[in-house]
Structure 1
Amino acid sequence: MGSMKRELVGFILFGVLVASCEAEQCGKQAGFALCGDGYCCSEWGWCGQGDTYCGNGCQSGPCSGGGGGSPSPPPPPPEGELGDIISRDFFNQQFPSRNPFYTYDAFINAAQQFSSAGFGTTGNKETRTREVAAFLAHIDHETSGLVYIEEIRPGSNYCQPSAEFPCAAGKSYHGRGPLQLSWNYNYGMCGNAIGADLLANPERVSQDATIAFETAIWFWSTAQWNKPSCHAVMTGSWIPTGSDNSANRLPGFGVTINIINGGYECNKESAEANRRIEYYKNFCSILNVSPGENLDCRNQQTF
């Protein structure tokens, strides 16, 4: 994902979705998370604009009714097992030049929305740490160290005709967020999963940091037609088929490169893939975990 990185889903009708949920987005209902600039958090924990959100009971943002305004700094979200692997200090140290948009609290809040999917919480400490290292390596590569929120100079609006996920007039579905979510069908599927209408409002991914991280974790945790999820690969629940073995797609970090951008970086020598591997090995070294085997995809056929 990113420039020439558009392999999120090839044939979406065969996609496997994570369970849809309608989780509140902000305020006391969501660990005191804040909405994006210009949006209010309603009494009921939803982000939006107008009297319904900014009127009486408004919890934060440009409230017009009772309450809200400039809130006191919210208490940090509970960190749980993921926070045991990545502390706030670690996050700040590893992404020293990141855009202020990307916060540690947003990352932890987003991960909690996917606790049932097991992101960063599946398996023993070594397995959990290795998965987190892989995820960090990919978002580091995709955003140049969490610097970029949106794709630079997108070549199109990434709208593919779809009856199920029709493009909204005037909207662009170019890469946004830590894993550069792209294409209308991905915005639609991801929006259904996280309880946000991203098909109608794709810009929310670049306005709300929690949603931005949710899109990345959604893609990471979701199998795509004939591709396993990156989560399944890194936690050992993916078992290669005979076809996978014949294609040299063996469990390890290399398959996650294939899932994310195999058409451009796998089955050949690739400087981009090599950079991902170096990021991964670096995070593994810092987190004191073995990177495992099968790190590259240069001899893997694409899915």
Structure 2
Amino acid sequence: MSRLRIIAALLAAACATVLAVVLPTSATAASCASAWNSGTVYTGGMTASYNSHNWLAQWWTQSDVPGTNSVWADQGTCGGGTNPPAGTCDYPAWAAGRNYVTGNIVRYTDGNLYIAEHDNPGYDPIISTWFWDPYNCNGGTTPPTNPPGNGGFVVSQAQFNQMFPGRNSFYTYEGLTAALSAYPGFATTGSDTVKKQEAAAFLANVNHETGGLVYIVEQNTANYPHYCDTSQSYGCPAGQSAYYGRGPIQLSWNFNYKAAGDALGINLLADPYQVERNSAVAWKTGLWYWNTQSGPGTMTPHNAMVNGRGFGETIRSINGSIECNGGNPAQVQSRIDSYNRFVQILGTTAGGNLGC
């Protein structure tokens, strides 16, 4: 053996000895986060431990028990369990029957990572189109943030934050993007300009309805008992005062909660409080109205934007003559001002027919 090879062998042996002393022989045990508390408000990114597992809140939540719905992502066992190598397998194991939302990353039994392309109730990743193509779990590859099946939302998180600098933490960007799969035609129809204009129009009206994404529920509690239409055969099972305005479009009335819930596959008639507890559900109700309801107008806001009828027609579909036709020009102008600001942030033009 040459002198160079002998030196290289000795150096390799020395390094191996040092590593054997310094590095642990097994993965570091995962410590438990603070115990989950039903009265604590958790926002996206916060952690809690429950039933010997750590859980990651994906958006705003309070009183939702970890493991019972998709707001909590299982981070694995704690208090004696092991952590997988950071950046490789550090994702929760897939579980059949557990609700997943768009963008969730799971570790499957084949050792690969899969990304939920649509909301789903725990479908098997390898036989379902609800999950995107896998990444090798042990190869150190980190999956991209947005599955390509989403097409990418035309509003980035940075732009969203710029639009709503003082928003309530309940209204998360993640909640919004998770809701997009419910109406895949939203902000994906037409030219890039039309896509951006529709996103800006929706968010401008949302901005007006919620005071800049500040209010989750209607502030005038005196109105709460008025939203139960007892002429409906299904009545108001959650109580006469349970159907007040909630969410980005301030969904109200028992018949609207039933219609939205039926369309979304969520029993909002029996439990309308989901709209103020779950960010993705709240955003879905806003998108339901935008994409399917004409309200006091002649078309849905979605159709108004993709068919070139202009921002003003979206105002008519939301509030009709209460604001339009001279009903309240100041409110109309407030919505237009927000829309102009948002299209500027998105780098596009406002188009015509802004008023109603």
CA distance in 1 between counterparts of 2:147 and 2:58 reads 12
The residue that corresponds to 2:172 in the other structure is 103
Partner amino acid, structure 1, of 2:329: S
Structure 2 residue runs without a partner (length 5+):
1-56, 82-90, 93-102, 106-144
CA distance in 2 between counterparts of 1:233 and 1:77 reads 28
Q: Is the 8 A contact 1:142 1:179 kept in 2?
A: yes
The residue that corresponds to 1:8 in the other structure is none
Structure 1 residue runs without a partner (length 5+):
1-31, 49-57, 238-250, 298-303
The residue that corresponds to 1:227 in the other structure is 298
Partner amino acid, structure 2, of 1:258: R
The residue that corresponds to 1:92 in the other structure is 161
CA distance in 2 between counterparts of 1:126 and 1:169 reads 42
| Structure-2 change in CA distance of 1:124 and 1:192 (3 Å) | same
Q: 1:105: Cα distance to partner?
A: 0.6
Partner amino acid, structure 2, of 1:163: Q
Q: 1:47: Cα distance to partner?
A: 6.0
Is it true that 1:141 corresponds to 2:208 in the alignment? yes
Question: Residue 279 of structure 1 aligns to a residue in which SS?
Answer: helix
The residue that corresponds to 1:119 in the other structure is 186
Q: How does 1:199-214 map to 2 (within 5 A)?
A: 199-214=269-284
The residue that corresponds to 2:61 in the other structure is 36
| Structure-2 change in CA distance of 1:87 and 1:120 (3 Å) | same
Q: Is the 8 A contact 1:160 1:183 kept in 2?
A: yes
Partner amino acid, structure 2, of 1:93: Q
The residue that corresponds to 2:344 in the other structure is 285
The residue that corresponds to 1:53 in the other structure is none
| Structure-2 change in CA distance of 1:224 and 1:161 (3 Å) | farther
CA distance in 1 between counterparts of 2:219 and 2:70 reads 27
Q: Is the 8 A contact 2:217 2:250 kept in 1?
A: yes
CA distance in 2 between counterparts of 1:169 and 1:97 reads 32
**Aligned mate of 1:175, from 225, 245, 252:** 245
- With a CA cutoff of 8 Å and minimum separation of 6, indicate the structure with the bigger relative contact order: 1
The residue that corresponds to 1:190 in the other structure is 260
Q: Percent identical across equivalent pairs?
A: 39
Q: How does 1:21-60 map to 2 (within 5 A)?
A: 36-40=61-65, 42=67, 46=69, 60=74
- Output the aligned Cα RMSD: 2.9
Q: 1:59: Cα distance to partner?
A: 5.7
Q: Is the 8 A contact 1:77 1:105 kept in 2?
A: no
Q: Is the 8 A contact 1:35 1:41 kept in 2?
A: no
Is it true that 1:266 corresponds to 2:336 in the alignment? no
TM-score by length of 1: 0.69
Q: 1:263: Cα distance to partner?
A: 2.7
The residue that corresponds to 2:232 in the other structure is 163
| Structure-2 change in CA distance of 1:162 and 1:78 (3 Å) | farther
Q: Is the 8 A contact 1:82 1:120 kept in 2?
A: no
CA distance in 2 between counterparts of 1:197 and 1:222 reads 18
| Structure-2 change in CA distance of 1:145 and 1:34 (3 Å) | closer
Which of structures 1 and 2 has the bigger CA Rg?
2
The residue that corresponds to 2:40 in the other structure is none
